[in-house]
Amino acid sequence: MRDPTSFLRKEYLDLVSQDLDWKLHVLQGPSTPWCIVDGKKVLMLCSNNYLSLSNHPRLKKAAIEAIETYGAGSGSVRPIAGTMDLHKELESRLAKFKGVEASLVYQTGFAVNAGLIPQLAGNGDLIVSDELNHGSIIDGVRLSYADRAVYKHSDVMDLAKVLDDAERHSAEYRRILIITDGVFSMDGDVAPLDRIAKVAREHGAMLYVDDAHGEGVLGEGGRGIVSHFHLSSKDVQVEMGTFSKAFGVVGGHINGSKDLVDFAYNRSRTWLLSGSHPPAVVGACIAAIDVLETEPQHVRNLWANTLYFKKAMGDLGFDIGRSETPIIPIMVRRSDVAKELSARLYEAGVFALPIVFPMVAKDMARIRTIMNAALTTADLDFAIGAFERIGKKLAII
């Protein structure tokens, strides 16, 4: 009898043979600047925990208190019996922090994009997306019945051309939805959101920004890319974010008008049909907002570390691409060199992973480093020294 699952092993082994499979590394303890990975003490340079809040005492205390008050789980999905007053408090606090009418918390950032994008645009609509948008955006667009167009990365003139061509050669669309990442996760560059918003207004389009890597990093006190460009929800109708990176916990969210939130929680099946966050997660997310509002030193330290590391690496001759943020790619171009550099860094006590094809183009392999607010100057000098020694041995610099 034919095994209907035989393809699973075959396709996995095909990935292994091409060295394209993910080899999981195990973190043994909290996500801190120095941590234990696969049994070895290393300096963490590839975590999204930008502000080092995942191990912050106030977040841990809030999580424990939430469990003691509300229990371990919510018991249901949000629309039935899984909305606790704690969930509503988080959304109220988040909306105030972001300076918008309303916010809605999803289970993950991926759930936002997969669940909301197909509802915002469908038959008779057009979605226009940056060519380097995150995979969760791509999947959300694929789930929609809308027509689709792609514009060159962060190229506002090309965006305008795509919109002009669409309006000339297609029947009039009911709605046009422009979608862009705020900070692009592989290169660390920032979308020109102010100029994109101008084009959106000119074409009567709705603008959706995925600010997963801008939350807690850009803007006043870490309020994100909309704040960074001094825009509002009138300019950017859908501001998506996450608690899973700079906020140090887990979860996705949208921010904007009350109409947006009312629409989203009635139409997004990822929100409607997924269990709500357990109380510990919600309590920790509220505490993370508290920390950002009362401890501005974390964002300041993050940027100080970013500038220090970028200058030192640039002075050594490393190519750091087009980074404008704490995501700093060390461009080495060849996949084999990127993998060798990562392996030798790990041996030297620095944990920084290679990003290679197919995640990036074949000639764009890099080590993607991410700065952290809790890194000290001594930590950074340790990492810079390791990069310098190994970079010279591998003829990268």
**Among residues 87, 98, 134, 245, which one is catalytic?**
245
Write down the H helix ranges in 99-173. Answer: 109-120, 135-142, 156-169
Q: How confident is the model at residue 1 (pLDDT cuts 50, 70, 90)?
A: confident
The reply to whether 261 and 283 lie within a common domain is yes
Residue 196 lies in a domain: yes
For 85-120, the pLDDT digits (tens) are 999 999 999 999 999 999 999 999 999 999 999 999
Domain of residue 206, CATH code = 3.40.640.10
Range of the domain at 234: 57-294
The reply to whether 219 and 235 lie within a common domain is yes
Contact 226, 256 (CB under 8 A): no
CA 216-217-219 angle, to 5 degrees, is 90
The reply to whether 250 and 271 lie within a common domain is yes
* pLDDT value of residue 361: 84
* pLDDT value of residue 117: 98
Q: Is 52 noted as a catalytic residue in this protein?
A: no
Residue 2 lies in a domain: no
For 268-293, the pLDDT digits (tens) are 999 999 999 999 999 999 999 999 99
For 363-379, the pLDDT digits (tens) are 899 999 999 999 999 99
Q: Is 185 noted as a catalytic residue in this protein?
A: yes
Residue 41 lies in a domain: yes
**Among residues 185, 233, 323, 342, which one is catalytic?**
185
pTM value?
A: 0.95
- pLDDT at 169 exceeding the cut of 80: no
- pLDDT at 56 exceeding the cut of 90: yes
**Closest listed residue to residue 212, CA positions, set 139, 307, 111:** 111
* pLDDT value of residue 380: 98
CA 284-288-289 angle, to 5 degrees, is 125
The reply to whether 104 and 228 lie within a common domain is yes
The dihedral region occupied by 38, where left means phi > 0, alpha psi between -120 and 50, and beta the remainder, is left
* pLDDT value of residue 136: 96
For 215-228, the pLDDT digits (tens) are 999 999 999 999 99
Q: How confident is the model at residue 46 (pLDDT cuts 50, 70, 90)?
A: very high
Q: Is 153 noted as a catalytic residue in this protein?
A: no
Backbone dihedral angles phi then psi of residue 354, each to the nearest 5 degrees: -80, 145
**Among residues 213, 228, 253, 277, which one is catalytic?**
213
Instruction: Give me the mean pLDDT over the 34-41 stretch.
Output: 97
